[in-house]
Structure 1
Amino acid sequence: MATTTKRLTLEEYLNYDDGTDTRYELVDGALVAMLPESDRNNLIAIFLLLEFAKVISARLIRHKDTEIVVIGHRARVRLPDLLVLTEDLLVALGGKRATITPEMPPPALVVEVVSPGKTNEDRDYRYKRSEYAARGIAEHWIVDPEKAQITLLTLVDGLYEETVFQGAEEVRSPLFPIVKLTVEQILKAAE
């Protein structure tokens, strides 16, 4: 992943255009080029999107291109694999750029599908976990195809409580109890 050396403010990031279709996250003011996802990760995220769309309004679901400003040492912007918005957040976005800014309500759910490698694992399990908790996101799923597990994080008093699901276990979402999926079903979507 390429990064910039000049530190950008959030405003500079939001106005940045290098003339390419490269997607970037902003980490402590540095642009970090996001490599294309693996087909496996895309299939998992799309499967979850389709399953959530069966039980909630599709207008509340976002895949890949909605970014969220999170709290960090300097400006940070993340590109989650899947988001479920609240009605209030949908109104706040108002059809404008798909950037969830700090003054907007948080999404209800963020899903990250972990890519192989220590850097990706650290980003998804450590950094994003604390950033999303600080942002007040009620539920965060970490889908890990390598470990064949889903870590469901539920926000309680500002910190995430963790439940890990594997195999034929049904992922039990406090926010979306109507979604009935096992870890095997979710990971099988990528086969």
Structure 2
Amino acid sequence: MTIAIVKTNPNTKSRVTFADYLTYFDGSDTKYELVDGELVAMSLATGKHGGITKFLVRDLDGEIERTGLPWIALQGIVGVRCPRGIGLDTVRIPDVVVMQRDDWQALQEREAVIDFNLSAPLLVIEVISPSTKNIDYRAKRTEYAARDIPEYWSIDPLEAKVSVLINSDGWYDVTEFVDSGLLISPTFPELQLTAQIILKGA
């Protein structure tokens, strides 16, 4: 997704706290991430981007239902609070989040952000665009690993590949999938997905 940094006050270096972020509203429908205490606006995704995320949520929810797991897959509506910097907050909004259903229920009457008092998501997925390539491959990789998220997928339509990152001792080991090779996912070991199918989307 495309992002643009929003300066809350160009004449100061004031930062937005996590508590302020939870209640922030600028009168528009714009969604914001919080990155090192700074608001970052998220623009509308492309149709291809939306098709891929919609397909993944539908497919993952089908697998969750088939296996009877107490999880839920959600598309772009849940924030994940990540440790980053010293005393500065970061909240990312992944394209897809797979989380415990009980934790999702706990968010029904509050802001939909997975704080440190809830379990880390089981899986987060980002669909890469030209403007977010470095962020998705570098910054988010570090942040999600620090949050102890066990599995992270980077879907890259630009290079026609899917990277599955598995958390090992606080860092991710990466396996790249292209064409018709079946994805290997510890979270969903019986999932029958290929990079080709995912990149085609819904």
User: Would you call these one fold, judging by a TM-score over 0.5?
Assistant: yes
Task: Supply the AA of the counterpart residue of 1:18.
Answer: D
Task: Supply the AA of the counterpart residue of 1:77.
Answer: V
Contact 1:172/1:180, CA 8 A, preserved across alignment: no
1:86 to 97, 100, 121: 100
Farther off after superposition, 37-46 or 53-62: 53-62
Structure 2 unpaired stretches of 5+:
none
Structure 1 residue 20 corresponds to structure 2 residue 28: yes
1:162 to 174, 186, 199: 174
In 2, the alpha carbon distance for the partners of 1:188 and 1:157 equals 33
In 1, the alpha carbon distance for the partners of 2:191 and 2:155 equals 15
Farther off after superposition, 53-62 or 100-109: 53-62
Contact 2:127/2:154, CA 8 A, preserved across alignment: yes
- CA shift, 1:86, in A, is 2.2
Who is 2:6 aligned against?
3
Contact 2:71/2:101, CA 8 A, preserved across alignment: no
SS of the residue aligned with 2:84? coil
Task: Supply the AA of the counterpart residue of 1:124.
Answer: D
TM-score by length of 1: 0.92
Contact 1:72/1:131, CA 8 A, preserved across alignment: yes
In 1, the alpha carbon distance for the partners of 2:140 and 2:26 equals 26
Contact 2:71/2:98, CA 8 A, preserved across alignment: no
Structure 1 unpaired stretches of 5+:
none
Contact 1:89/1:107, CA 8 A, preserved across alignment: no
In 1, the alpha carbon distance for the partners of 2:117 and 2:82 equals 11
List structure 1 segments (4+ residues) > 6 angstroms apart after TM superposition.
none
In 2, the alpha carbon distance for the partners of 1:187 and 1:63 equals 16
Deviations 1:24-72 (A, max 9, x none): 0111111111111111111000011111111114961111011111111
Instruction: Calculate percent identity across the aligned residue pairs.
Output: 38
1:134 to 111, 135, 146: 146
The CA RMSD measured in Å over matched residues stands at 1.7
